[in-house]
Amino acid sequence: MQHANRLVIELTGVVKRYGRDTTEPPHRAHALEPHTNGPTGAPLRARALDGVDLQVRAGEIFGFLGPNGAGKTTTIRLLLDLLRPTLGKVRVFGQDPRSAGPALRRRIGYLPGDVRVGTRQSAHELLTHLGQLRGGVSDARIRSLAERLGLDLRAPIRRLSKGNRQKVGLIQAFMHDPELLVLDEPTSGLDPLLQREFLAMVREASDRGRTVFMSSHVLSEVEQVADRTGIIRDGHLVAVESVDELRTRAVRRVEVVFGHDLPDGAFSEVSGLEGAEVHGRTLRGRLTGPADSFVKAAARHEVVSFLAADPDLEELFFTYYAERGGRHAA
Amino acid sequence: MLRSVWTKTLWEGRNGIVLWSVALAGVSLMYALFYPSINQESFAQAMESFPEALMLAFGWDDLTSAAGYLGSTVFGLLAPILMIVFAIGLGTRAIAGDEEAGTLDLLLAHPVSRARVVLERALALAVSLTVATLAVFGAIVAARGVAELDALSVGAIAAASLHLLLLALTFGTLALALGAIGGSRSLALSGAAIVAVLGYFGNTIARQVDATRWLATLSPFRYYEGGAPLRNGLQVGDATVLLVASALFVAVAVVALGRRDVGA
Ligand SMILES: Nc1ncnc2c1ncn2[C@@H]1O[C@H](COP(=O)(O)OP(=O)(O)OP(=O)(O)O)[C@@H](O)[C@H]1O
Ligand SMILES: [Mg+2]
């Protein structure tokens, strides 16, 4: 298939600095190095993105992970031409978002990180309007999505709760069945049941050949749907990995309660388990990589309860961070 | 009603348009109906005791004629102030307000160009102001027979109303342009308001003295009332100046919004 490896999103050396003069000509690149001063002598604003190279292929679900302020929203808004790169190249479907304009955005569904639609109108009115800006979306489609997410379309938007506003945002992103979905923290504000429904919607879109680019703080939700993930921190893309690779690096907090007191040193030799502590019948520790040997060791005893917490993203970031020899530290 | 950006903008602003129109019509009607009590010998005599400079400064030199009365009350002060406040509010909301509220983000992520959003918002502004102007025009025409204002032709009232519309449009588009440049509500609002206040007093004060009279040509108010449209009918040149200024502000807004980051 000719388009199987077609790039849907391509960022090359993208630098983004907020503030005036956001699009510097390349020959002034040297003036943009960190810790230098601008033409007026004032220190230049920090770079929200500092040389990001990223590629997302057609049909892929790409998870974009990073802590607060890492640059996820900045990256996403560059794709929609809401922001312009200071340096570097942004391409969506091979086109520059700035010059391709409305025709390119027709092919994209976008969920803002903070869905804000402060009007008195009803959700139905707003969604119909947004659909018409896209050349018309059938009412049946809007209603079926609303039903699926459990949104009351008649409610005035201004009075909707955070989660319900998020549903409005999701519906407008999905309703025209776009070729590319760009979703900024799509599950924020959704309860666990709706998070599952959302992940199902992402999988269905992917089955239809759509490309999905979604940002998140939560590894577990990305891990459930994504094919690949990018990890960004302080404006640097520190890793792009398949979900399987990521999983083996993840550090999980585990807590097991046994039916009887444990013998001394029962879990000291288990590979992947660090910081094991035994208090009476309870074992706590941090598990990295394959869980196999830990589960088998635990299975030799009577297990009352078993908890493996969601991987801690900060710790995951830290492993990547430390690995790079603190290149971006300081 | 929801097919395009401008109809949607109008639809969302419908309450404001109705309220402002009712207020403007009410004020105009009130003043027009008050005219018979001023159009009397005793009042004219009383006015003669005021210092002439003061009368000139406030444009009260001819308060007893129909044109003089409406020109210094409805069209001289209240309607322009209300219309300009309404226009600056709308112009500020058009881009900067929407941007600060975070809602411009979602709109611009749709297949509409930034230029189209600016132009459609400007169109909605113009239509809103037209409705409000028609309320003023309608109220005065309606009061004309009752209030002994028939010395004024409907055409003259229409001319003054058109000048009023263009004056408000100038300030509305100025606020829109400032909002498109800076993305800040307070900047757009205060910037346009300052120009309005300076323009008003600049025009009033500058024309008192020969040496500074040229300064008044910088004020939009000069093109609003300088040619006395209520007496002399439509001043094509003056109206064109206001129209061109408005178009220029819209053009500036298109260019400014097209060049910068949105919501940053
Ligand atoms: N409008 C702005 N003006 C100036 N700096 C900004 C602006 N928006 C973001 N930044 C800065 O850019 C950096 C990246 O922000 P961004 O919003 O992209 O992070 P994020 O990964 O989306 O974070 P979060 O998880 O909190 O949503 C941050 O340091 C932030 O302070
Ligand atoms: Mg964000």
Question: Ligand 1 atom 24: the closest Cα is on which residue?
Answer: A68
Provide the pLDDT for residue A298: 86
Within a 10 A sphere around the Cβ of B180, how many other Cβ atoms? 29
B18 touches chain A (CB under 8 A): no
The answer, yes or no, to whether any atom of ligand 1 lies below 6 A from the CB of A71, is yes
Cβ contact (<8 Å) for A129 and B108? no
CA gap B141, B105 in Å, rounded: 44
Among the atoms of ligand 1, which is closest to the Cα of residue B261?
1
B109 touches chain A (CB under 8 A): yes
Provide the pLDDT for residue A313: 66
B213 touches chain A (CB under 8 A): no
Is the complex ipTM higher than 0.90? no
In a mutational test of the B interface, the residue from A20, A77, A120, A160 whose CB has the highest number of chain B CBs within 10 Å is: A77
- CB contact set of A302 (below 8 Å; sequence gap of 6+): A258, A259, A260
Average pLDDT, chain A: 85
- Give the strands of the sheet with A228-233, arranged side by side: A108-111, A180-184, A211-216, A61-65, A228-233, A236-242
For residue A3, give the H/E element and its range.
none
CA gap B221, B225 in Å, rounded: 6
Q: Give contacts of A108 with chain B, Cβ < 8 Å.
A: 109
Confidence of residue A117 (pLDDT cuts 50, 70, 90): confident
Among the atoms of ligand 1, which is closest to the Cα of residue A66?
21
Give the distance (Å) from ligand 2 centre to CA of residue A55: 20
Cβ contact (<8 Å) for B111 and A114? no
Among the atoms of ligand 1, which is closest to the Cα of residue A71?
18
Check pLDDT > 60 for residue A247.
yes
pLDDT in tens, A38-51: 444 445 567 899 99
Strand partners, A215: A64, A184
Q: Which residue has the higher pLDDT, B22 or A262?
A: B22
| Highest-confidence segment of A63-77, B1-15, B55-69, B218-232 | A63-77
Provide the pLDDT for residue A237: 93
Check pLDDT > 50 for residue A195.
yes
Provide the pLDDT for residue B181: 96
Average pLDDT on A180-193 reads 94
Average pLDDT on A107-130 reads 89
In a mutational test of the B interface, the residue from A110, A117, A133, A182 whose CB has the highest number of chain B CBs within 10 Å is: A133
Q: Find, in chain B, the residue whose alpha carbon is nearest to that of A76.
A: B109
The burial of A43, by beta-carbon neighbours within 10 Å (0-12 exposed, 13-18 middle, 19 or more buried), is given as: exposed
Average pLDDT on A252-281 reads 83
Percent pLDDT > 90 in chain A is 51
Average pLDDT on B182-207 reads 91
In a mutational test of the B interface, the residue from A95, A129, A162, A166 whose CB has the highest number of chain B CBs within 10 Å is: A129
Check pLDDT > 50 for residue B155.
yes
Provide the pLDDT for residue A131: 95
Confidence of residue A274 (pLDDT cuts 50, 70, 90): confident
What is the residue type of B197? Answer: V
Provide the pLDDT for residue A181: 98
Of the given ranges (A147-161, A201-215, B161-175), which has the lowest mean pLDDT?
A147-161
Q: Find, in chain A, the residue whose alpha carbon is nearest to that of B263.
A: A82
Give the distance (Å) from ligand 2 centre to CA of residue A68: 7
**b vs e for B190-229, b when ≥16 Cβ sit within 10 Å of the residue's Cβ?**
ebbbebbeebbebbbebbeeeeeeeebeebbbbbbbbbbb
| Highest-confidence segment of A6-15, A28-37, B47-56 | A6-15
Which phi and psi (to 5°) does residue A43 adopt?
A: -65, 140
Of the given ranges (A19-23, A305-309, B136-140), which has the lowest mean pLDDT?
A19-23
The answer, yes or no, to whether any atom of ligand 1 lies below 6 A from the CB of A113, is yes
Within a 10 A sphere around the Cβ of A109, how many other Cβ atoms? 25
The answer, yes or no, to whether any atom of ligand 1 lies below 6 A from the CB of A47, is no
Provide the pLDDT for residue B26: 95
Q: Which residue has the higher pLDDT, A161 or A23?
A: A161
Of the given ranges (B48-62, B178-192, B246-260), which has the lowest mean pLDDT?
B48-62
Two structure tokens written together for B201: 């007093």
Provide the pLDDT for residue A250: 76
What is the residue type of A326? Answer: G
Q: Which residue has the higher pLDDT, A301 or A246?
A: A301
The three-class DSSP label of residue A312 is coil
Give the distance (Å) from ligand 1 centre to CA of residue A19: 12
Confidence of residue B56 (pLDDT cuts 50, 70, 90): low
Average pLDDT on B141-160 reads 87
Cβ contact (<8 Å) for B111 and A133? yes
Question: Ligand 1 atom 26: the closest Cα is on which residue?
Answer: A68
The answer, yes or no, to whether any atom of ligand 1 lies below 6 A from the CB of A48, is yes
Give the distance (Å) from ligand 1 centre to CA of residue A65: 14
Average pLDDT on A206-216 reads 96
Question: Ligand 1 atom 29: the closest Cα is on which residue?
Answer: A69
The three-class DSSP label of residue A186 is coil
pLDDT in tens, B62-97: 666 778 888 888 898 899 999 999 999 999 999 999
pTM of the complete model beyond 0.80: yes
Q: Which residue has the higher pLDDT, B60 or A105?
A: A105
Q: What are chain A's domains?
A: 7-116+177-239 (3.40.50.300), 251-310 (3.30.70)
What is the residue type of A131? Answer: G
Provide the pLDDT for residue B1: 55
- How far does B56 lie from chain A, in Å, by closest CA? 47
Question: Ligand 1 atom 31: the closest Cα is on which residue?
Answer: A69
Provide the pLDDT for residue B212: 74
Provide the pLDDT for residue B60: 56
Cβ contact (<8 Å) for A102 and B5? no
- How far does B193 lie from chain A, in Å, by closest CA? 25
Q: Give contacts of A115 with chain B, Cβ < 8 Å.
A: 106
B5 touches chain A (CB under 8 A): yes
- How far does A102 lie from chain B, in Å, by closest CA? 4
Which phi and psi (to 5°) does residue A85 adopt?
A: -65, 145
Provide the pLDDT for residue A201: 96
Average pLDDT, chain B: 89
Provide the pLDDT for residue A260: 86
Q: Give contacts of B11 with chain A, Cβ < 8 Å.
A: 121
pLDDT in tens, B176-190: 999 999 999 999 999
Confidence of residue B48 (pLDDT cuts 50, 70, 90): low
The answer, yes or no, to whether any atom of ligand 1 lies below 6 A from the CB of A66, is yes
pLDDT in tens, B88-145: 999 999 999 999 988 899 999 999 999 999 999 999 999 999 999 999 999 999 988 8
